[in-house]
Structure 1
Amino acid sequence: MDQPDVVPVTARAPAETSLAKSAAAASITVAVVLVSLKAWATWKTGSAAMLGSLADSALDLVASLVTLFGVWYASQPADREHRFGHGKAESIAALVQVMLIALSAFGILLRSTQQLLAGARVEAPAEGIGVSVVAIVLTFALLAWQRYVVARTNSVAIKTDHAHYQSDLLLNLAVIAALALDSYAGITGADPVFGLAIAGWLGWNAWQASREALDHLLDREWPEAKRRRFVEVAARHPELANLHDLRTRTAGHVDFAQFHVDLPEEMTVGQSHDIIERVEEDLLREFPGLELFIHIDPAGHVDEPGNTLVEQDEFAALASGEDGA
């Protein structure tokens, strides 16, 4: 008897969307305040490091606006044209942030090099240091809220924004050190040297932040530990055999998984449905919000001879301690 495909649909939690939007809005608010303060401090000091910090905060503002749009668009329900939802919008937003961070790093690099060659000195260091201290306090508060939101939503866009603002802490400390060394210790060139270091740090941060977004856009499989846990939960059901063609991915904060599994050919549609319902409930309890697709094969059926990915028995790999992927 032919067996049914089972495709449960799970809704995204409105609370998670609200949290992600609140983090993006908080990021925009902090960026507006910091751009205003740092523009004034740059005008007062003429510091290359402060200019770099200003450029970074200005791009923070643009990136945060992109993040807010990405989070909002990703939260839209699936429709006729996007039946898997819009979760990848978060990854696109994250990549836009990465490009802005890279541009910021390049601009700071050029300005710092010019300042270093010209032997320029900073003025009014106290104002610049005061603004940097305010920036550190505001950034600490924002990071705390972002950590809370990421822990509950796993939003890749907020993660990227969080990574960027983490670098802002070091950036503002570097500005303080540059101003102090240049003005109070009399070390000529300290300010542009710190500016160059900031540019390098931002470039590295852009590279790191791009990796997860690209993984989501390219439908990279889940980490092996998470994938293995998924198979372990399914293996709690002894009625199932030969779990194969397991494919997993993540889009935004939504996980997707699909697999084939064998059931006895003589089993009725109703019996197989009841078994798969229990399997689904168990997996969704362990992986909340998961979008799950399960295809049933009659025992002994071969899907695609020669395709090692399709025919890999995940239960057998789990029992032998091998990687299933």
Structure 2
Amino acid sequence: MTANNALLRRITLASFLTALLLVSVKAVVWYVTGSVSLLASLLDSGMDAIASLIILLAVRYALRPADEDHRFGHGKAEPLAALAQSVFILGSAIFFLLHALDRLLHPQPLQHDEWAIAVMWFSLAVTLVLVSFQRHVARKTGSTAVAADALHYASDIASNLVILAALYLAHFGWTQADVWLGLLVGLWIGYSALEVGRDALDQLLDKQLPEETLEQIRRIVLTHPRVWGFNDLRTFRSGPTLHIQLDLELDDHLPLVEAHRIAEEVTEALKQAFPQADVMIHQEPVSSRTDAAHHRWQGAQRGDG
């Protein structure tokens, strides 16, 4: 096991255990206080626990190398798990909103609201520590799953602050603040679920990589002095792996061994820019493309070679 893979396994386990701890503490205090905004936070932490468990299992599966039955690897495990997660979160958000509306129509006073405030400060501190660790691991490993999880927990910090504001307002007499700000957090959870689902579908349907990434690939390919151009660029993401495929346009009279060497050099340049990329390059004679010289001219105009 590489050092990066070991880090990924540790951070995904830490994320799950943290969410489980917060769920346990918040469930007890919500039962005592009856706070709607704390219930929203409990729901959010519950979704975090499920999401972290899914990511823990999916990352472990996605890290498995390609085999005879999965020649492109196991990366699709991540978006598939994320899609299931988003559906579950959305359903839970709807359930919570119905509960909050019922509490709005039938108000109930908070009990032991100082307990709720204490647990939210505890949650805020624990989440800050976790996000710091996640960002360190994401920078070191380049894992998109951990980076996304860190972003999700970072947004939890904002929701924790909103809930703290609601609890303080309720403590000082504005009892409806607990419900209204709890509703706001519930709507945000639902929106986040839709965003997670959209991103997961993009990966499952092999959506093209962003235009800025495509432009970076173009620059790298055209930088090689013996490349005339390229065509049929196809890209998609599968979990942690970027798949890049293209046809490389080379001089008609190059020996096969020389054409192979150039293709390998371009492949290596792409992998240096995208360490988790799987690159597939086909070589073809430049005469097969009438606009190849134009491709090469464009690269020269950008100063790529």
TM-score, normalised via structure 1 length: 0.85
Which deviations, in whole Å up to 9, do the C-alpha atoms of 1:268-321 show, x marking residues without a partner?
22222222232223222232232111111123125xx9xx9xx99754554577
Q: Which whole-Å CA distance do the structure 2 matches of 1:264 and 1:173 have between them? A: 62
Give the drift of 1:230: 1.6
User: Where do 1:10-29 residues align within 5 Å?
Assistant: 14-29=2-17
> Structure 1 residues 154, 217: CA separation in 2 closer, same or farther (over 3 Å shift)?
farther
Which deviations, in whole Å up to 9, do the C-alpha atoms of 1:74-104 show, x marking residues without a partner?
0111011110001111112222332233223
- Letter of the 2:71 counterpart: R
Instruction: Specify the alignment match of 2:145 in structure 1.
Output: 157
Which deviations, in whole Å up to 9, do the C-alpha atoms of 1:205-242 show, x marking residues without a partner?
22333343232222222222222122212222222223
Worse-matched range after superposition: 197-206 or 127-136: 197-206
Which deviations, in whole Å up to 9, do the C-alpha atoms of 1:176-215 show, x marking residues without a partner?
222222232x123221111111111112222333343232
1:272 corresponds to which of 249, 259, 274: 259
Instruction: Specify the alignment match of 1:107 in structure 2.
Output: 95
User: Where do 1:1-325 residues align within 5 Å?
Assistant: 14-184=2-172, 186-301=173-288, 314-318=295-299
SS at match of 1:296: strand
Q: Which whole-Å CA distance do the structure 2 matches of 1:261 and 1:132 have between them? A: 56
- Letter of the 2:79 counterpart: S
**Which runs of structure 1 show a deviation greater than 6 angstroms over 4 or more consecutive aligned residues?**
none
> Structure 1 residues 51, 141: CA separation in 2 closer, same or farther (over 3 Å shift)?
same
Q: Which whole-Å CA distance do the structure 2 matches of 1:167 and 1:110 have between them? A: 23
SS at match of 2:57: helix
Q: Which whole-Å CA distance do the structure 2 matches of 1:156 and 1:44 have between them? A: 39
Contact persistence 2:228–2:295 (CA under 8 A): no
SS at match of 2:235: strand
Worse-matched range after superposition: 262-271 or 71-80: 262-271
SS at match of 1:300: helix
Give the drift of 1:30: 0.7
Structure showing the higher helix proportion among its residues? 2
Q: Which whole-Å CA distance do the structure 2 matches of 1:109 and 1:37 have between them? A: 22
SS at match of 1:205: helix
Q: Which whole-Å CA distance do the structure 2 matches of 1:43 and 1:90 have between them? A: 34
> Structure 1 residues 192, 232: CA separation in 2 closer, same or farther (over 3 Å shift)?
same
Q: Which whole-Å CA distance do the structure 1 matches of 2:295 and 2:124 have between them? A: 49
Instruction: Specify the alignment match of 1:3 in structure 2.
Output: none
Contact persistence 1:163–1:205 (CA under 8 A): no
TM-score, normalised via structure 2 length: 0.90
Worse-matched range after superposition: 147-156 or 48-57: 147-156
Give the drift of 1:158: 2.5
> Structure 1 residues 154, 104: CA separation in 2 closer, same or farther (over 3 Å shift)?
farther
Identity %: 36
- Letter of the 1:252 counterpart: G
Q: Which whole-Å CA distance do the structure 1 matches of 2:220 and 2:16 have between them? A: 41
* Structure 1 unaligned residues grouped into runs of 5+: 1-12
Paired residues, number: 302
Q: Which whole-Å CA distance do the structure 1 matches of 2:199 and 2:58 have between them? A: 15
- Letter of the 1:93 counterpart: A
Higher relative contact order (Cα pairs below 8 Å, separated by 6+ residues): 1
Which deviations, in whole Å up to 9, do the C-alpha atoms of 1:142-197 show, x marking residues without a partner?
1111112222334343334223322322222222222222232x123221111111
Contact persistence 2:230–2:246 (CA under 8 A): yes
* Structure 2 unaligned residues grouped into runs of 5+: none
